[in-house]
Amino acid sequence: MAEYRIGDTLDLGSCSACGNVIVIEPDNGLFRPQGCGNPVRLADGSWLCGSCLRKLRVKYPQEYRMDPKGKKMQPYERAADLTADKAKQELDQVHDYLEDLREKYGFHQAVFSVENVDVKKGGFLKPSFFKVTGHVIYGTFTPLDEVSIGMNSGQKVKISCLDNPHSSVPVSDTTIQRGTNKLLIDWAWVEGGEEAAFIFQEKSLNLKPGDLIVRD
């Protein structure tokens, strides 16, 4: 986990949508563009606070892009392509958009869209590791949540932990803390619009790209 350092703060001014003052610690090792509560600069140079950004992600999902040096996939916020006026307009409409999504997906508490499934054998008499990457359509998922495969109460499984969807570190018993079922470097939760990876430890998991994972 990144070390927390108290340093100089930087005032970015007010959020162009809600008016809240945005202050960050640029030297803080925990400050990451994709982290909850962090702001983004919009297309017209103004700033959008992390709270407003999180609301917009359900309509403008986060995606990963290769960094300029071509060495690492970095999260990119599609909402950053908006202007301040457009961001305000979208925020006024995002509640209705979210309710339409909830109705479309049967009013489940949270829905995840599967885009890729990687399987690693767990060893003799041990369950396999399933790394399932995709996007959260809406809602929130946390480690140890019990979820269902599909919309109609399919196979019930428990999320062992959450991971960076583009991590090059293979998941194994040694990377999961015993007793807590969390990765040593772990996300506490993922929510609507975020790209993420779910780690499952199961003997079998009937899951393929295009499937949905839901939490009730």
Q: What is the DSSP code (8-state) at residue 155?
A: -
DSSP 86-119: HHHHHHHHHHHHHHHHHHHTTT-SEEEEEEEEEE
Please choose, from the candidates 26, 2, 24, the residue with its C-alpha nearest in 3D space to the C-alpha of residue 12: 24
Q: What is the DSSP code (8-state) at residue 5?
A: -
- Beta bridge mates, 132: 117, 198
DSSP 45-68: S-EE-HHHHHHHTTTS--EEEE-T
Q: Name the least confident of 5-14, 48-57, 101-110, 164-173.
A: 5-14
- Sign of the four-CA dihedral 184, 190, 195, 198: positive
Q: Which of 45-54, 67-76, 93-102 has the highest mean pLDDT?
A: 93-102
- pLDDT tens-digit series, residues 93-145: 999 999 999 999 999 999 999 999 999 887 778 888 999 999 999 999 998 89
Phi then psi for 78, rounded to 5 degrees? -65, -25
Decide yes or no: CATH 2.60.40.2550 for domain 110-215.
no
Confidence grade of residue 44 (pLDDT, cut at 50, 70, 90): very high
| SS3 label, residue 80 | helix
Residue 37 has a pLDDT of 56
| Average model confidence (pLDDT) across the chain | 83
Domain ranges in the chain are 10-104, 110-215
- Sign of the four-CA dihedral 113, 119, 120, 124: positive
Query: 33-45 in b/e burial notation, b at 16+ Cβ within 10 A?
Result: ebeeebbbebeee
Alpha carbon 133 to chain centroid, angstroms: 10
Confidence grade of residue 172 (pLDDT, cut at 50, 70, 90): low
Q: Are 200 and 176 in contact (CB under 8 A)?
A: no
- pLDDT tens-digit series, residues 153-167: 788 999 988 888 888
- Beta bridge mates, 138: 111
